[in-house]
Structure 1
Amino acid sequence: MSQTFAVIDTETNWDNEVMSVGIVVARDGAFEPIDTCYIVFEEAARVGGLFSSSLYIEGQDYKTLAKRAGIAAIKDFLNKHDIQEVFAYNASFDYRCLPELSTYCWHDILRLAAYKQYNPAIPASAPCYKTGRLKCGYKVEDILHMFGEGGYMELHNALTDAEDELRIMKHLQHLIDVYPEL
């Protein structure tokens, strides 16, 4: 049986505090969601942020909790699925936002998605550094457009964004051990 892993995304408020965390669990190689968790941190959400209007999406399951209870719920969810490997797009940002999850092994999806040698959808004409990394145009939205999802627009909801980042991993088709650790 293949290993399960989690993709995590965060949204922050005007004070740079995490106001929501979205998590999608999938199996290595399949890259299909098998479970999700969406937590809104009550105090931080009250402050508001650029993407507060996307915090709650109709039909989306979520829990609104105090931060300590929210972190405990996240750890319980990850432990329920025996998660040890965590992935995020620009993972160093989410890792810094969630120091309580530093015991997990974090990986950055961006480190493969933005490089020609790992991403076959990057056009030959795209400006890249000698390392193969795109010079620009490597946001989640840009990468999904390269994979043919032309109408895609990022919602800036932590759960839907985590699902989108999992889709990038599915498009790339690299097993999780190819992604370098932070």
Structure 2
Amino acid sequence: MAERFAVIDTETNWKNVVMSVGIVIAEDEQFVALDNTYIIIEEAAKVGGMYSYALNIKGKTPQMLDRKSAVNAIKDYLNSFGIKSIFAYNASFDARVLPELKEYSWHDILKLAAYKQHNPKIPPEAPCCSTGRLKSGYRVENILHMFGEAGYEEFHNALTDAVDELRIMRYLKYGIEKYPVL
């Protein structure tokens, strides 16, 4: 059986505190969502943030929890699927705003998606650093455009963004062991 992993995305408020967390569970080699959950941290959401307009999404009722309960719910959810590895786009940010999840192994999707030596869809003429990383234009939306999703616009909801990040992993076709650990 392939190893299960989680893709996590967060949205933060004006004080750079997590106000929502989206989690998608998938299996290595398949990169298809098996399950998902969405949590809004009430006290942080009340502060508001750049993407407060996207906190609620059609068809998904989030769990509304305080921070401590949210962290416990996240750990319970991850552990119920036997998750040891968390993946995120720019994982250092998500790991920093969720330090309570330090016992999990964090992996960065950006470290493959934004580098020409790992992403065959980066155009040859795209300006890159000496490391191979795109100098600009490597947001999730930009990467999905490179994979042919021309009309795609990122919604900036933690759950829909986590789904998008899993889709990038599916396009890249690398096993989870290939993604760098923080």
TM bin (shorter chain): over 0.9
Partner of 1:45: 45
Q: Match of 1:115, SS?
A: coil
> Which stretches in structure 2 are left out of the alignment for 5+ residues?
none
User: What CA distance in whole angstroms lies between the structure 2 residues aligned with 1:27 and 1:9?
Assistant: 17
> What number of residue pairs does the alignment pair up?
182
Q: Moved runs in structure 1, 4+ residues, more than 4 A?
A: none
**How far 1:15 sits from its partner (Å)?**
1.0
Q: Match of 1:162, SS?
A: helix
Provide the TM-score with structure 2 as the length reference.
0.99
> Which stretches in structure 1 are left out of the alignment for 5+ residues?
none
Structure 2 counterpart of 1:122, which letter? I
Structure 1 counterpart of 2:180, which letter? P
User: What CA distance in whole angstroms lies between the structure 2 residues aligned with 1:44 and 1:52?
Assistant: 10
Structure 2 counterpart of 1:4, which letter? R
RMSD of aligned residue pairs (Cα, Å): 0.6
1:4 aligns with 2:8: no
Aligned-residue identity in percent:
62
Partner of 1:128: 128
Q: Match of 1:64, SS?
A: strand
Provide the TM-score with structure 1 as the length reference.
0.99
Structure 1 counterpart of 2:92, which letter? S
Partner of 2:23: 23
Residue by residue over 1:106-159, the C-alpha shift from the partner in whole angstroms, topping out at 9 and shown as x without a partner, is 000000001111101001111112221111110001000000001111111000
User: What CA distance in whole angstroms lies between the structure 1 residues aligned with 2:37 and 2:61?
Assistant: 8
User: What CA distance in whole angstroms lies between the structure 1 residues aligned with 2:58 and 2:34?
Assistant: 21
Partner of 1:57: 57
Partner of 1:102: 102
